[in-house]
Structure 1
Amino acid sequence: MRSFPVFVLMLLSIVAVAEPLPEQPVFALQQAVGSELDLDPLTGDATLKVFYTGMGKGDTVGARLAGVLTRDTVIQTVTAPGVLSFNLPRSWLRENLGRTVTLTYSYKAKGTGKLFTSAALPVSIVSTRPEQFGVAGTVDGQLEFDSLGDDAKVTVLFGAMAPGDTVGVRLVGSVTRDTKIEKVVDDGPLTFSIPRAWLQENIGRSITLTYSYKIAGAGALVVSRPLSVTVTSALARVAVSGAQVVQGLNARFQETGPCPGDQADYQCNGVFIRVVDYSPAFRAWNPSPGAQKLGGVSFSYIRRDLKTLKLQENRTHGLILTEGNRWVAPLLPLKVLCAYPYDGGTATRDGSGCGKNKGYADSDRCALGKINTVTQWRRRFTQYPTGEARYDHQCSFDPDKAGFDLSLQARENPDQEHVRWRQNEVVIKTWAQNVHNLPVEAFFYTSTAGREPARSIQKDFYKSTGRFVPVVQVALSAPEVFTYKVCDQVVPSVMPSCK
């Protein structure tokens, strides 16, 4: 008989000791120091700890982060009272870099009934990694254009920047320009090229640069602080300055894309132009007596797609305003009141030129008559034959983005309209007499007959305000609508010798 070894099985008793419950409620972001969370040492998600008095089995608990977006964690069900841990993804925190977020938790006892919400826990999301945002060659906020070899270089590095982020730079000047979007591939700074031409069109101006990014190329767009840079040129005399004005005017005339956000098109593209009559007894840039009484000053808004081939009554000289987004201090803030697809006969209307015309009840503001589409507007407009009454019956569109867009879209066939009324009409609220900071960008002439009056207006304006505003020629059917000629200028202190 074989013998077998005997194994003795000894049972070890393991006693689990439960962690005692906290004596006080717990609500804290584990990786934060005080009220700040530094993203740089954070390699993964952050952990939010939660325990509240009266926590019981079956309670359902969730946490919320309110920042650029509102983010909610997964709901947890309490299996046994104790400190709960909630993961806050690093991406949620990165999109709030430089901001203070608000954390809260909420719960339902046994998962039903009233929702209880905690007091707010504010946490500032910071980065100790120094930001890099600047234009190479800039000294004391000024960039010398003449010293540029080729394009200007913009360096961008922001706290917690990581591979996969997408970044772009925007320049806001005479025209809004956006660089190509770049994808972050390592931890180093990105370098963006600003074309020389973008800076050339802004000589003598202050431009604003911002960078924006999306974490991992998705989600909320985070926009940086603005960086102001003045583009200077030691060689930029009057001829260059005037040339830059017409370059900006031609760019705006050609630009038909929408302005950013809820801005109407006149804020960034197109050209406001007003015909006037020169008189040594009257400052041509002042609102006329009729405009003062009316409360509105009439302009045409011209752009490549609007097919404007004539100005009001074929008059030969006048003034041009800057784009609307430059109507801020120190320039005079102007206010657009309304717009008509064609000449609106505003001199005989109420409401500062935007209301009813000669008692035509249906000629008030379009919004009041529930005219909200081009089809509705044209159906009523074409009820009347091509004559003065047709244009007097127009309703006026509001100056917001939607209304102004409709006023432009309604110009479907301007060459089929009466020649006296083909130009559109935009009414700007009357400004005070003799202001020195009117946002006038140029004085213009359309023919030889208008050249001397335009030069005289330039001289008067310079004498009155001390500001040099160039005289430009306007040819609405030419490939380049606006041209600048040195010898059109008459201001003595900046006028070169012309034979």
Structure 2
Amino acid sequence: MKRQFCIVLFLLLTAGCATHELDRSTIDEPSGQAVGVQGAGTGPEIAAYLTEAYNNVLTMCRNNPSAPSFLCTGVTLRATQHSTQFHFWNPNPASTGVSFSWLRKDAKFSKLVFGYNNGFILYPDFFKPTGKIALAVLCFFPVDGATDHRPDEGCGQYPNRPNSRPCQSQGITTAAHYIAHFNANAGMYGALCGFDVRDELDERGAVAFTEGVKAQGQLPASAFGTQNEFRVRKWAQNIGQTLPIEAVFYINDTGKVGAQYDQRDFKTQTGIWIPMIKITLPQTAANDARFEFIPADQAISS
């Protein structure tokens, strides 16, 4: 049974029951804008939603064991570099998938991939505005998975490294299993496995993701400077208007310039205004990320 069907059935059976997940039901659309066109919140509201999503450490969504927590919590972000040669929301045509990282209170890291300074953020799937497409999350690596060199849309075995095949296929199903695997392979990205979290796995995928997040939290301190990695199925080119993009972000002044360019470009190409959010990444495990909307930093106000 597909997870989507299970979720719909669950909602019908439990309508009116209280939940403990992020509640965006009070979001107001800007006056005169159609739902799913302008977005689902002002800059300060989006910063508040991101903060709440970051702090929400549920292990499942809507009390559904088949709904992994990334569907309703955490901050799914992709680090990018701005360019006049392509739009930030278009996948690399040569890539077999699209890589993201997932930031949450129990899944922290101190820097972005390749030392990048800006990028964009996706809505959690359960809170994307009407008219936005669902993106398929395929696998999760507690640390960078060197996915550009892997088959199966980036989730398969790294060439000539059999220990890197998907975790469940080699009996790695718990955080403890993964930590032993990490230590045995000296933390080499290409030698490490990823957890299969595809939708069709239902509860098994949700459990695998929970164990992957636990594993990230148990990694040695030396791994804190390396981001985790989601692999997402590649989408079509030039569909920015229907992608579930919540915001662009930056982590410093260098990234601010790139985010300003991307904010303008997205509005020009799609007609949709999205906020620029400043993310302060935690520099130690004791610190937390911060999400801020700074009006003076915005390239455009609407």
State whether TM-score is above 0.5. Answer: yes
Matched, 1:272 2:73: no
Residue identity (%): 28
5+ unaligned residues in a row in structure 1: which ranges?
1-97, 100-166, 178-197, 206-231
Matched, 1:319 2:120: yes
Which of 478, 483, 497 matches 2:292? Answer: 483
Corresponding residue for residue 6 of structure 2: none
The secondary structure found in structure 2 opposite 1:359 is coil
Corresponding residue for residue 73 of structure 1: none
Matched, 1:455 2:260: yes
Q: Distance in 2 between matches of 1:480 and 1:204?
A: 27
Corresponding residue for residue 107 of structure 2: 306
Q: Distance in 2 between matches of 1:171 and 1:331?
A: 24
Give the residue type in structure 2 aligned to 1:266.
Answer: F
Equivalent residues of 2:106, 2:217 under 8 A apart: no
Shift of 1:455: 0.7
Which of 136, 150, 153 matches 1:352? Answer: 153
Equivalent residues of 1:290, 1:347 under 8 A apart: no
How many residues were matched structurally? 268
Give the residue type in structure 2 aligned to 1:273.
Answer: L
Matched, 1:439 2:274: no
Shift of 1:329: 5.2
The secondary structure found in structure 2 opposite 1:279 is coil
Shift of 1:204: 2.6
Q: Distance in 2 between matches of 1:380 and 1:175?
A: 34
Corresponding residue for residue 4 of structure 2: none
Corresponding residue for residue 89 of structure 2: 285
Which of 388, 391, 403 matches 2:208? Answer: 403
Q: Distance in 1 between matches of 2:132 and 2:244?
A: 6
Equivalent residues of 2:109, 2:224 under 8 A apart: no
Shift of 1:369: 1.4
The secondary structure found in structure 2 opposite 1:423 is coil
- The 1:415/1:454 distance shift into structure 2, 3 A limit, reads farther
Equivalent residues of 2:133, 2:243 under 8 A apart: yes
Structure 1 residues 463-491: Cα deviation after superposition (integer angstroms, max 9, x where no partner)? 11111111110102275611001122223
Give the residue type in structure 2 aligned to 1:203.
Answer: D
Which of 1, 4, 23 matches 1:176? Answer: 23
Q: Distance in 2 between matches of 1:171 and 1:381?
A: 36
- The 1:365/1:255 distance shift into structure 2, 3 A limit, reads same
5+ unaligned residues in a row in structure 2: which ranges?
1-11, 198-204
The secondary structure found in structure 2 opposite 1:427 is strand
Which of 391, 398, 420 matches 2:189? Answer: 391
Give the residue type in structure 1 aligned to 2:67.
Answer: Q
TM-score, reference length from structure 2: 0.81
- The 1:430/1:329 distance shift into structure 2, 3 A limit, reads farther
Q: Which has the larger radius of gyration?
A: 1
Matched, 1:204 2:29: yes
Quote the RMSD (CA, aligned, Å): 2.8
Give the residue type in structure 2 aligned to 1:481.
Answer: R
Corresponding residue for residue 77 of structure 1: none
Q: Distance in 1 between matches of 2:289 and 2:143?
A: 24
Corresponding residue for residue 119 of structure 1: none
Corresponding residue for residue 369 of structure 1: 170
Equivalent residues of 2:90, 2:238 under 8 A apart: yes
Which of 391, 395, 412 matches 2:217? Answer: 412
Q: Distance in 2 between matches of 1:416 and 1:479?
A: 15
Runs of 4+ in 1 over 4 A off after TM superposition: none
Give the residue type in structure 2 aligned to 1:281.
Answer: Q
Q: Distance in 2 between matches of 1:488 and 1:327?
A: 25
Give the residue type in structure 2 aligned to 1:353.
Answer: G
Equivalent residues of 1:273, 1:300 under 8 A apart: yes
Shift of 1:376: 2.1
- The 1:419/1:367 distance shift into structure 2, 3 A limit, reads closer
Judging by fraction of residues, say which structure has more strand: 1
Q: Distance in 1 between matches of 2:273 and 2:151?
A: 36
Judging by fraction of residues, say which structure has more helix: 2
Shift of 1:354: 0.1
Structure 1 residues 222-246: Cα deviation after superposition (integer angstroms, max 9, x where no partner)? xxxxxxxxxx9xxxx99x7110001
The secondary structure found in structure 1 opposite 2:106 is helix
Q: Distance in 2 between matches of 1:374 and 1:175?
A: 26
Equivalent residues of 1:203, 1:244 under 8 A apart: no
Larger RCO, structures 1/2 (Cα 8 Å, 6+ apart): 2
Q: Distance in 2 between matches of 1:244 and 1:418?
A: 32
Equivalent residues of 2:108, 2:224 under 8 A apart: no
Equivalent residues of 1:338, 1:427 under 8 A apart: yes
- After superposition, where does 1:45-64 map in structure 2 within 5 Å? none
Which of 247, 267, 274 matches 1:469? Answer: 274
Q: Distance in 2 between matches of 1:253 and 1:434?
A: 29
Shift of 1:348: 0.7
Equivalent residues of 1:307, 1:414 under 8 A apart: no
Shift of 1:264: 0.3
Equivalent residues of 1:343, 1:424 under 8 A apart: yes
